[in-house]
Structure 1
């Protein structure tokens, strides 16, 4: 064994709804309606849209793609009651915030990487969404 964690190997664990919380670290948004919520994130067109749509579908959340400004695309789930708990834990008023006890699992990291990860001169960069520093306040 190489000693490196196999974070990006084929998913060993069964996909879970909570895995999508990685999108919120990448600037994703939650919208609540009635007793359901949806999650979405704006990404560059191409492999990111396909990867995220497939991952949402694999969790039974469905996926919607919408063109956004600047040649980008919004990738989001359908409204689903199973996302309501995530929305309640991650939002304080109109702000999104990392909830107490949050654990960055391999699956959540994969969502973050797919939405906002990129190679840079020092290795790999995981971007936060615009104004993302408030997530950790």
Structure 2
């Protein structure tokens, strides 16, 4: 079954383009009647998200239960560095498990490289961000 319910995780100091690019493309799947059953929710780590440039975004919910979603998308941005030390955020991501698809862009992959998220997963992670890989390897 292809993903139908998509969760987008947003957090302070994200790169808005990392979120909005995927969000816009995936929301059009339903909007253009390609697959009207596709739904999405924007889930934040905070009630108000301020990106790297100061742009504000109000998510649909904060730390919403992920069990009802088919795909989790994690944006990137400078805020990933702070989130890697946020026990609540890491524990939240761990609730995703390893049976459902997981996607990220840019430094969002750093959050997924946290202990027990990708390391214990059967997934084969890929990234094009060599500098992020080096930072992540040194950290974990």
TM-score (norm 1): 0.27
TM-score (norm 2): 0.27
Q: Which structure would you say has the larger RCO, counting Cα contacts within 8 Å and 6 or more residues apart?
A: 1
Structure with greater strand percent: 1
